[in-house]
């Protein structure tokens, strides 16, 4: 039986900062407003929200279209345009997933609105790598109830060190910190700095160094 690997999405597979930049530029071109103005409008939406993982695309599109006085459908078309997602996919993802899924069962462990997270995977062209039955997307993914749903002893790859620490503490998983920002290593589990080296981390998991 193949081992299971669950992947986080944002900043693990997809650079969400890049997708935001692409959208802002497109909305700026559409509306005639500066990037600074787009950021101001975005920030006013975020402040009215309860957190990043509660980001709702439909609410965001309504907010942007009303604040800038532009057509809702045109903003929606920009928001979900394919290049927003394909151009935000990290360059190491496709080739790495192609190799990994030959020897492992690949799934998802992500936080947010399920429909939107799946759209990201679909439009970036990588949804086919992940099995539906081991795809776990919840608004709050570190609750006891959610963690109890995950396969015992599965690998979990995530960019967030706080999530990794919680998984280490749970004691039933094999977390790997994908640290794309610095050269810092996690003290209690494997660390990798990009997905091209993930095979080494998987095969030698018992050794932290």
pLDDT values of the chain reduced to their tens digit, one per residue, 209 residues: 579 999 999 999 999 999 999 999 999 999 999 999 999 998 888 654 444 446 788 889 999 999 999 999 999 999 999 999 999 999 999 999 999 999 999 999 999 999 999 999 999 999 999 999 999 999 999 999 999 999 999 999 999 999 999 999 999 999 999 999 999 999 999 999 999 989 888 988 875 55
The pLDDT assigned to 49 comes to 44
- Give the pLDDT confidence score for residue 96 in this predicted structure: 96
Question: Which residues fall within 8 angstroms of residue 65, CB to CB, at 6 or more apart?
Answer: 71, 72, 74, 75
Residue 188 structure tokens:
């209690």
Query: Model's pTM, two decimal places?
Result: 0.91
């Amino acid at each position: 039986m193949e081992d299971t690997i669950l992947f986080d999405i944002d900043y693990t597979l997809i650079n969400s900062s890049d997708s935001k930049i692409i959208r802002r530029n497109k909305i700026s071109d559409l509306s005639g407003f500066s990037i600074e103005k787009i950021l101001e409008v975005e920030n006013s939406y975020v402040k009215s929200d309860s957190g990043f993982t509660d980001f709702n695309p439909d609410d965001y599109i309504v907010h942007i279209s009303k604040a800038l006085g532009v057509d809702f459908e045109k903003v929606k078309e920009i928001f979900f345009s394919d290049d927003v997602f394909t151009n935000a996919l990290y360059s190491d993802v496709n080739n790495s997933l192609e190799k990994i899924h030959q020897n492992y069962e690949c799934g998802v462990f992500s936080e947010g609105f399920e429909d939107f997270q799946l759209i990201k995977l679909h439009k970036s062209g990588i949804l086919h790598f992940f099995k539906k039955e081991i795809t776990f997307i919840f608004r709050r993914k570190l609750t006891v109830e959610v963690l109890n749903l995950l396969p015992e002893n599965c690998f979990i790859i995530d960019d967030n060190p706080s999530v990794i620490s919680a998984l280490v503490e749970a004691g039933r998983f094999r977390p790997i910190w994908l640290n794309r920002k610095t050269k810092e290593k996690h003290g209690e589990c494997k660390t990798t700095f990009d997905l091209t080296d993930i095979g080494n981390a998987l095969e030698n998991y018992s050794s932290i160094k």
